[in-house]
């Protein structure tokens, strides 16, 4: 099933939590992204120009906390944090500074399926996963659902935001003076990048049931 424009194809519309009118759940099925940004920790010098370039382009302000690429949080201890012991990365460990980036997850997309407002959609021609600010209600369910903590949140706007690949010309890649970031053809990295946390947002059972049924039917068809 493909997606055109900003529409997300599902079996039906799914309203916000707490709505007075009960609606059937939506199964979010998304076209795979055309590309993604990857980082090389052995080249990163920790200048964080990528974070500034991201927010200046997308938000019109220098605010690393809003950045869709996460470098500063790994600067000292790496993704595992201060309790990583001798294995920790960053300036206080082995010197490797890890760049955390959105994996543009394939179906099922954790943040999209956890959103009660179906606010995470795809935007052609790159089919990047994008937060639609008109639909986002600021509930932060997407933040709790991403295993890599790659959703940012604008406190002033009360909206979530994430990497949308800057329409094919990622500003973080352009700004990196060390060539530590690359924009490449999409590949599934979900099994290669260690999780940062266990998601606390749970996909509603109704959506999970639809997903299981869909994959079961595909398997039967292939057989």
DSSP letter for 72, please.
Answer: G
Give the best-scoring range by mean pLDDT among 108-122, 132-146, 188-202: 132-146
Please say if the pLDDT value at position 101 is more than 50.
yes
Task: Round to whole Å and give the CA distance between 108 and 29.
Answer: 7
Contact 199, 148 (CB under 8 A): no
- Tally of CB atoms within 10 A around 139: 19
Task: Round to whole Å and give the CA distance between 188 and 199.
Answer: 19
Average pLDDT over residues 123-136: 93
pLDDT digit string (tens) for 7-16?
333 333 333 3
Q: What pLDDT score does 212 carry?
A: 64
pLDDT interval class at 210 (50, 70, 90): low
pLDDT interval class at 180 (50, 70, 90): very high
Task: Round to whole Å and give the CA distance between 42 and 21.
Answer: 53
Q: What pLDDT score does 59 carry?
A: 92
Q: What pLDDT score does 124 carry?
A: 87
Cα dist. 94→41, 75, 133, 141, 208 in Å? 11, 11, 40, 34, 41
pLDDT digit string (tens) for 133-159?
999 999 999 999 999 999 999 999 999
Contact 54, 172 (CB under 8 A): yes
Largest distance between two CA atoms of the chain: 55
Average pLDDT over residues 164-184: 96
- Portion of the chain with pLDDT greater than 70, in percent: 78
Average pLDDT over residues 61-73: 94
Q: What pTM does this model have?
A: 0.78
Q: What pLDDT score does 121 carry?
A: 92
- Tally of CB atoms within 10 A around 88: 20
Mean pLDDT (the chain, rounded): 82
At 113, list the tokens: 């399926």
Please say if the pLDDT value at position 103 is more than 60.
yes
Q: What pLDDT score does 16 carry?
A: 35
At 9, list the tokens: 């194809």
Please say if the pLDDT value at position 42 is more than 80.
yes
pLDDT interval class at 98 (50, 70, 90): very high
Average pLDDT over residues 189-209: 80
Higher-scoring residue by pLDDT: 3, 33: 33
Please say if the pLDDT value at position 23 is more than 70.
no
Residue among 105, 51, 53, 104 at smallest CA distance from 74: 51
State in Å, rounded, how far the first CA of the chain is from the last one: 20
Q: Are strands 35-39 and 181-185 parallel, antiparallel or unpaired?
A: antiparallel
- Tally of CB atoms within 10 A around 105: 22
Task: Round to whole Å and give the CA distance between 120 and 164.
Answer: 11
φ/ψ of residue 39, rounded to 5: -120, 155
Residue among 200, 210, 192, 24 at smallest CA distance from 108: 210
């Amino acid at each position: 099933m493909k997606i055109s424009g900003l529409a997300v194809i599902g079996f039906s519309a799914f309203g916000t939590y707490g709505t007075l009118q009960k609606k059937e759940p939506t199964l979010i099925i998304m076209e795979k992204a055309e590309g993604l940004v990857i980082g090389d920790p052995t080249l990163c010098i920790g200048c964080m120009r990528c974070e500034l370039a991201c927010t200046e382009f997308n938000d019109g302000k220098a605010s690393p906390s809003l950045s869709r690429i996460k470098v500063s949080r790994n600067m000292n201890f790496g993704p595992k944090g201060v309790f990583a012991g001798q294995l920790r990365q960053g300036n206080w460990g082995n010197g490797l500074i890890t760049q955390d980036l959105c994996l543009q997850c394939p179906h099922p997309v954790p943040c999209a399926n956890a959103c009660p407002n179906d606010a995470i959609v795809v935007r052609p021609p790159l089919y990047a996963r994008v937060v639609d600010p008109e639909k986002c209600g600021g509930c932060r369910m997407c933040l709790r659902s991403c295993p890599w903590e790659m959703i940012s949140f604008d406190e002033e706007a009360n909206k979530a935001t994430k990497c949308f690949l800057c329409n094919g010309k990622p500003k973080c890649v352009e700004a990196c003076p060390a060539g530590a970031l690359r924009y490449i053809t999409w590949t599934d990295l979900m099994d290669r990048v260690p999780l940062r946390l266990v998601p606390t947002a749970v996909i509603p059972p109704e959506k999970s049931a639809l997903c299981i049924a869909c994959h079961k039917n595909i398997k039967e068809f292939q057989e």
